[in-house]
Structure 1
Amino acid sequence: MWATLAASLFFLPFNHTLSLLLLLCSLAGAVYYAVLTLPAMAFLLFMLVVAVAVTLLRHRQQKWRVVVMELLLLLGCIALLFHVSGFNNFKILDKVQVGMLSGPFSMYYNFDKALIPFFVLICLPDLFTTQKHPSISQLSWIGLMCTVPALLLLAVAIGGLKIEFHFPQWIGQFFIANVFFVCLAEEALFRGYLQRRLSQWLGAYPALLCSALVFGAYHFAGGSSLIIFATLAGIIYGLAWLWSGRLWVAVSFHFAFNLIHLLFFTYPIYLPK
């Protein structure tokens, strides 16, 4: 079921028919294994009705009604982001400690968050590829890549993290969970939708900053330090999306950050002895 869901997200940018078939298979599996309960199924049915309404109203060029329906779809995506009730997400790891200096870590396969890109795609049919920022040099890209480890090293410098090498046996599960059920969902919502929409009103770089601030605020549960670092990371991901015009580039930067964090630093936090 989870492999099928990941595959449906993989094919989503370039083969909608295959992606939808795989999604239906994963939904059937989720119902069978009680990952989806009745409240979750009712919620998804409501989201589906709104998504169909957005599509029909767009074809009829009823712009204000499209805006209202799209806002409802966005609120539904936010509910999925915060794990609306009715989804029994599968816990892969339960309070494991990846290293001697690392804090306990739990990991889930998040079925709810994984559905976000499908609904955002209804609002923005060109979600995965849009107009890129002109004239970005290779040196600028190299500099942006360097900011990923630099931000983690900054966290070390102020005492939030420590350097600690790991290669856990569950690295494959981490890859699937992080790429498809975390990074893609968050980038679709924060960069693909929010930054894209805000840029239409505010301009490219103010929209980038606003979406990064919202992304930072989304991490409020981790405290003020995590909010600040998530905001800085959001700026990196936002630049990757803006300069390339491709959502998967932002997803790659997001996953690279998380993977480097896991492999070379205390994960998810430094736990003083």
Structure 2
Amino acid sequence: MWMLLAASLLVSGFDRRVALFLLLVATVWAGYSGVLQPAGVGVMAVLAIMALLLHRYRQIGAVAVGAELGLLFIAINLLSHFAPGFNNLRVLDQVRVGEMSAPFSMYYNFDKALLPFVFLAIIPSLFATRPLRHAQRRHWLLLIVSLPVLLLLATVAGGLKIEMHFPQWFGQFFLANLFFVSLAEEALFRGYLQRRLSQLIGPLAGLLASAVLFGISHLAGGALLVGFATVAGVIYGLAWMWSGRLWVATLFHFALNLLHLLFFTYPAYRP
């Protein structure tokens, strides 16, 4: 089921019909296995109705705005796990990847994985659009180098320690973090928010505003995490701004998380 869900997300930027078919099969499977409960089916039905209304009446301003705001409201609830009817699978329960790492749990989140589909309904060109700015090779190189530099700065600040590991559940982490975390969050913060804010207040202000909102979304982790998540949001935002490709921003997001897991205390330092 989870591989089907990931496959639907993988092809959603290339062939929407195939993606929706795979999503439908994954949804039926999720209902059969208990991951998706009746209330969750209702949430998905409301999403489908709003998406159809937006597609049908996109040229009618009031209907389009209302449908978009409704989809955004549900998307935020999916991101925060407030939407009812989703019994997400807990893959890891309070494990410690290393002696200095804090214990953490990991889930396969069906609700959060729906975000790219929600924003694809709002913005058909979610996965590929014209870059807002063009960058040279040296700019891309600096952006790539900024990923390990940010983690090293977090180490200097005391939030992390260098601790190398390759856990046996690496494959599960790869699947969950790439598709159900990185892609989902980038669909919201870069594919939707940064694009809309850039249209309203300009590319640079849109970049910074979406990065700040991304940092605030990590408020539960404390002020230090909010600060570093904001800087990370700038990195992901530049990747999106320079490429116009949602997957480019997603791969930067995933690369930072992967470096974090492999070479530093994960998710934080706690001896």
Q: Tell me the TM-score range normalised by the shorter chain.
A: over 0.9
The residue that corresponds to 1:85 in the other structure is 84
- Give 5+ residue unaligned stretches, structure 2: none
User: Which amino acid in structure 2 is aligned with residue 158 of structure 1?
Assistant: A
The residue that corresponds to 2:71 in the other structure is 73
Per-residue deviation at 1:71?
Answer: 0.6
Per-residue deviation at 1:85?
Answer: 2.4
Alpha-carbon distance between aligned partners in 2 of 1:134 and 1:258, rounded to the nearest angstrom: 26
Is the aligned partner of 1:200 residue 2:196? no
CA shift digits 1:223-257 (9 cap, x unpaired): 11111111110000000000011000000000000
User: Which amino acid in structure 2 is aligned with residue 189 of structure 1?
Assistant: L
Native 8 Å contact 2:132 2:203 kept in 1: no
Runs of 4+ in 1 over 2 A off after TM superposition: none
Alpha-carbon distance between aligned partners in 1 of 2:219 and 2:86, rounded to the nearest angstrom: 22
Per-residue deviation at 1:67?
Answer: 1.0
User: Which amino acid in structure 1 is aligned with residue 203 of structure 2?
Assistant: A
RMSD over aligned Cα atoms? 0.8
CA shift digits 1:102-140 (9 cap, x unpaired): 000111000000011011001000000011144411000
Alpha-carbon distance between aligned partners in 2 of 1:257 and 1:156, rounded to the nearest angstrom: 14
CA shift digits 1:73-98 (9 cap, x unpaired): 01110010011221100011001100
Query: What secondary structure is seen at the aligned counterpart in 2 of 1:95?
Result: strand
Is the aligned partner of 1:132 residue 2:93? no
Alpha-carbon distance between aligned partners in 2 of 1:37 and 1:133, rounded to the nearest angstrom: 41
Alpha-carbon distance between aligned partners in 1 of 2:236 and 2:146, rounded to the nearest angstrom: 10
Query: What secondary structure is seen at the aligned counterpart in 2 of 1:156?
Result: helix
Structure 2 CA distance for partners of 1:135 and 1:49, relative to 1, 3 Å: closer
Per-residue deviation at 1:269?
Answer: 0.4
CA shift digits 1:56-84 (9 cap, x unpaired): 111xx102320111011011100100112
1:1-273 → structure 2 map (5 Å cutoff): 1-58=1-58, 61-83=59-81, 84-272=83-271
Alpha-carbon distance between aligned partners in 1 of 2:172 and 2:208, rounded to the nearest angstrom: 32
Query: What secondary structure is seen at the aligned counterpart in 1 of 2:35?
Result: coil
CA shift digits 1:192-240 (9 cap, x unpaired): 0000001111110100000011111111111111111111100000000
Query: What secondary structure is seen at the aligned counterpart in 1 of 2:57?
Result: helix
User: Which amino acid in structure 1 is aligned with residue 265 of structure 2?
Assistant: T
Query: What secondary structure is seen at the aligned counterpart in 2 of 1:92?
Result: strand
Native 8 Å contact 2:134 2:243 kept in 1: no
Q: TM-score, normalised by structure 2?
A: 0.98
Alpha-carbon distance between aligned partners in 1 of 2:21 and 2:40, rounded to the nearest angstrom: 20
Per-residue deviation at 1:189?
Answer: 0.6
Worse overlay, 37-46 or 23-32? 37-46
Alpha-carbon distance between aligned partners in 2 of 1:253 and 1:226, rounded to the nearest angstrom: 18
Residue-pair matches, total:
270
- Give 5+ residue unaligned stretches, structure 1: none
Q: TM-score, normalised by structure 1?
A: 0.97
Native 8 Å contact 2:102 2:266 kept in 1: yes
Alpha-carbon distance between aligned partners in 1 of 2:17 and 2:45, rounded to the nearest angstrom: 20
Worse overlay, 46-55 or 137-146? 46-55
